[in-house]
Amino acid sequence: MPVVCAHALISGRVQGVSFRYYSFHEALRLGVKGWIRNLHDGRVEAVFQGDRPLVERMLAWCRLGPPGAQVDEVGVDWWDPQEDLTKFQVVGTANLT
């Protein structure tokens, strides 16, 4: 099955509700690679890579989010698979420019 890579920008009440850490555990459960981080504008940014059905399940999870979150939108761009993604990790906060 071909590997796909999705870049997601998640908006709503997604910071201060452990969104990144719940996502981390969901990605580990599914076997998805990539990363997730908070943005200074209140959104969460993530990259999910793996078999398409697993990445689609991860994106579906993001549309619901963890308890306490209120997801308003999940914007997705499809990227070429990234060779350097070997695990899933929570990374530092970054500006989106």
Q: Which residues contact 54 (CB under 8 A, 6 or more apart)?
A: 30, 31, 32
Cα dihedral sign, 52-55-57-59: negative
pTM of the complete model beyond 0.75: yes
Average pLDDT over residues 5-16: 97
User: Is residue 17 a part of any domain in this protein?
Assistant: yes
Nearest to 50 by CA among 90, 94, 1: 1
Domain span holding position 45: 3-84
CATH number at residue 43: 3.30.70.100
User: Is residue 96 a part of any domain in this protein?
Assistant: no
Active site residues per annotation = 20, 38
pLDDT tens, 35-93? 999 999 999 999 999 999 999 999 999 999 999 999 999 999 999 999 999 999 999 86
